[in-house]
């Protein structure tokens, strides 16, 4: 709610006021209605990672060959295997994971 109020403050500031005719969303909502609006429309633009981390500890889901522990013939090769969130965009690490998956599969199937 504080973020919505901050955005309103910025939008209604003198330097920007001339660019806005009216507030489109959320409009004149208050209290519980504003909380419901924020819950309904809030999304993330980030790329989720680290939900099936690679490693050897009890929280790890895949091994170094991208095999899922305890499930035969299943591998994971996406951003979810990263043990920690990267400090930058996740696209480059995902490309590396894909390349590694290709190497692993080639070796496993003698290609």
Q: How far apart are CA 56 and CA 38, in angstroms?
A: 39
Which one is catalytic: 47, 53, 75, 100?
47
DSSP one-letter string for 14-65: HHHHTT-SS--SS-S--HHHHHHHHHHH----S----SS-BSSSTT--B-TT
Is 47 an active-site residue? yes
The structure tokens listed for 96 are: 């590396």
The structure tokens listed for 31 are: 């209290």
Q: Specify burial of residue 74 (Cβ count, 10 A radius: 0-12, 13-18, 19+).
A: exposed
The catalytic residues are 47
């Amino acid at each position: 709610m504080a973020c919505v109020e901050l955005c309103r403050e910025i939008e209604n500031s003198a330097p920007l006021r001339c660019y806005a005719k009216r507030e489109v969303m959320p409009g004149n909502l208050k209290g519980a209605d504003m909380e419901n609006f924020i819950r309904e429309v809030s999304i993330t633009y980030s790329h989720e990672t680290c939900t099936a981390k690679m490693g050897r500890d009890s929280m790890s889901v895949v091994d170094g060959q991208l095999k899922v522990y305890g499930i035969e013939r299943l591998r994971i090769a996406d951003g979810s295997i990263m043990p920690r969130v990267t400090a930058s965009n996740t696209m480059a690490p995902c490309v590396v994971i894909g390349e590694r998956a290709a190497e692993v599969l080639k070796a496993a199937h003698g290609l």
